[in-house]
Structure 1
Amino acid sequence: MSDRFPRKAIVTGSDSGIGKATAELLATEGFDVGLTCHRDVAGLRDTVAAVEARGRHAFTEPFEASRPDAGEVVDRLAEKLGGLGVLVNVAGTGHTDRITDLSLETWRHVLATDLDGPFLCAQRAARIMIAGGHGGRIVNITSVHEHLPRYGAAAYCTAKAGLGMLTKVLALELAEHDITVNAVAPGEISTPMTGQEEAQAFHESRPGNPAGRPGHVNEVASVIEFLVSPRSSYVTGSSYVVDGGLSLMAAHGHDGLDTGWRDAGG
Structure 2
Amino acid sequence: MGTRLDLNGKSAVVTGGSRGIGRAVAITLADAGARVTIADRSDALRNDGLSTSDVIRSRGGHAESVLLDISSSPEVDATMNDIAGRHGIDILVNNAGTIVSGTVAETSDESWRAIFSVNVDGTFYCTRAAIRHMLNRGAGGKIVNIASVSGLRANQGFAAYCAAKGALINFSRQVGIDYGAQGINVNAVAPGFVETEMTAMYDASIRHALEAQTPNGKWATPQQIADTVLFLSSGLSDHLCGEVIAVDGGWLVGTPVQVG
Find 2:42's aligned residue among 35, 39, 42.
39
CA RMSD of aligned residues (A): 2.5
Number of the residue aligned with 2:188: 183
Between stretches 60-69 and 241-250, larger displacement belongs to 60-69
Number of the residue aligned with 1:74: 80
Is 2:232 the partner of 1:236? no
Is 2:103 the partner of 1:98? yes
Contact preservation (8 Å) 1:6, 1:84: no
C-alpha displacement at 1:249, in angstroms? 3.8
SS of equivalent to 1:158: helix
Alignment of 1:1-266 (within 5 A): 6-39=9-42, 41-42=45-46, 45-72=50-77, 73-80=79-86, 82-195=87-200, 206-250=211-255, 252-253=257-258, 255-256=259-260
Q: Which amino acid aligns with 1:212?
A: G
Q: TM-score, normalised by structure 1?
A: 0.86
Q: Deviations over 1:42-70 (max 9, x none)?
A: 39943112221333321221122322335
Q: Deviations over 1:222-245 (max 9, x none)?
A: 000001111111111100000111
Q: For the residues of structure 1 that align with 2:237 and 2:42, how far apart are their CA atoms?
A: 33
Q: Deviations over 1:200-240 (max 9, x none)?
A: 9xx97821111111110000000000011111111111000
Contact preservation (8 Å) 1:204, 1:214: no
Contact preservation (8 Å) 1:70, 1:120: no
Q: For the residues of structure 1 that align with 2:151 and 2:226, how far apart are their CA atoms?
A: 18
Instruction: Note closer, same or farther for the CA distance 1:238–1:5 as it changes in structure 2 (3 Å cut).
Output: farther
Q: Identity across aligned pairs (percent)? A: 32
Gaps of 5+ in 2: none
Contact preservation (8 Å) 1:96, 1:153: yes
Instruction: Note closer, same or farther for the CA distance 1:86–1:250 as it changes in structure 2 (3 Å cut).
Output: same
Instruction: Note closer, same or farther for the CA distance 1:26–1:44 as it changes in structure 2 (3 Å cut).
Output: farther
Q: For the residues of structure 2 that align with 1:204 and 1:77, how far apart are their CA atoms?
A: 43
Q: TM-score, normalised by structure 2?
A: 0.88
Contact preservation (8 Å) 1:24, 1:51: yes
Q: Which amino acid aligns with 1:27?
A: A
